[in-house]
Amino acid sequence: MFILEINNISKAYGKIKALDNLSFNVPEGSVFGILGPNGSGKTTTLSIILDVLQADSGSYKWFGESPHAGLRKRIGSLLETPNLYHYLTAVQNLRITQSISGRGDDRDIEKVLKQVNLHERKNYRFSTYSLGMKQRLAIAAALLGDPKVLLLDEPTNGLDPVGIAEIRELIKSLAQSGHTIIMASHLLDEVEKVCDYVAILKQGKLIASGSVDSVLSDEDCLILSAAENRLIELMQGYKGISRVADTPEGVACFFDKGKVSAAEVNAFCFNNGIVLSQITMKKKKLEEKFFELTSTQND
């Protein structure tokens, strides 16, 4: 089942087309990342599916239903900087959020504070919190009422490595407890570590979508090391190779997915007078794929 279905949504701000016939689906129970450079349409997408903005055309469905007021309570969101009061405690802030949203009760406040690992600091003022703790409290506010879906816009933005790691582990924990999480982020390494699925946008257009593994799986890469300087020249003539590059790790040899055998490459080099000191299969990182797509895709 798809928690969210986006069908041909377009949105323009004057002459600027923020979204251009955008379509993708979010599977239930997944952690779904929306990636793109600044101005690619990530925040506009989240704003439309939260009914903050109106699309010019296209449609979307939550839980298989067209948007209506009752659906909003099943969706928690954190779109911008936490709107919390610095002079109030965590509990007091959550009570205010609760009264505005109409979601949850005092027992729910206790529950969400435990979920984000802030229960022991529940009576401390927000101003005493680290940036990571402030972000976790904002996520706790979004969790009031136990929504099925959590939408996060740049949840680790501005955090130090410790804060980023805390949010990463929290997202994993929430996913394991049954929440579907949709997050927009520019931190590609973090998305790769926590997301099951991804949609990559450029200037409002979808240029890749699917499971993280499938988005990355178009090529296999072998890293070869040898004392011989002619290794690059030799591998350029290897049958089925798509390209060869000299990298700090060694000679990178790229092949179509599933079309290379490390043993056969090793034998080929040996039979041509080159003894490899190392041969490793390298998985392409999401960061590499992202920059490859956003720099080469036609506008």
180-229 pLDDT, tens digit each: 999 998 777 778 889 999 998 988 999 888 888 777 666 778 999 998 78
Specify the DSSP class assigned to residue 84.
-
Q: How confident is the model at residue 104 (pLDDT cuts 50, 70, 90)?
A: confident
Pick 243 or 125 by higher pLDDT.
125
Tell me if 242 sits within 8 A of 255, measured CB to CB.
yes
pLDDT at res. 299: 45
Return left, alpha or beta for 39; rule: phi > 0 is left, psi -120 to 50 is alpha, else beta: left
Instruction: Check whether 62 has a pLDDT greater than 50.
Output: yes
| Domains of the chain by start residue, with CATH | 2-215 (3.40.50.300), 217-296 (3.30.70.100)
Tell me if 140 sits within 8 A of 115, measured CB to CB.
yes
Return left, alpha or beta for 117; rule: phi > 0 is left, psi -120 to 50 is alpha, else beta: left
With 0-12 / 13-18 / 19 or more C-beta atoms within 10 angstroms meaning exposed / middle / buried, residue 122 is middle
pLDDT at res. 287: 66
Specify the DSSP class assigned to residue 39.
T
Tell me if 255 sits within 8 A of 215, measured CB to CB.
no
For residue 150, give the 3-state DSSP assignment: strand
Tokens of 251: 């000679």
pLDDT at res. 295: 67
Element at 210 (helix H, strand E): strand 205-211
Instruction: Check whether 39 has a pLDDT greater than 70.
Output: yes
> Which string of b and e fits 63-96 if b means at least 16 CB within 10 Å?
beeeeeeebbbebbbbbeebebeeeebbbbbbbe
Residue 294 φ then ψ, to 5°: -75, -15
Tally DSSP H helices, then E strands, for the chain.
10, 13
For residue 90, give the 3-state DSSP assignment: helix
Residues forming beta bridges with residue 281, ordered by sequence position: 222
Tokens of 11: 């949105």
Instruction: Check whether 52 has a pLDDT greater than 70.
Output: yes
Strands 180-184 and 149-153: parallel
The predicted model gives 60-79 an average pLDDT of: 88
pLDDT at res. 298: 47
Tell me if 188 sits within 8 A of 35, measured CB to CB.
yes
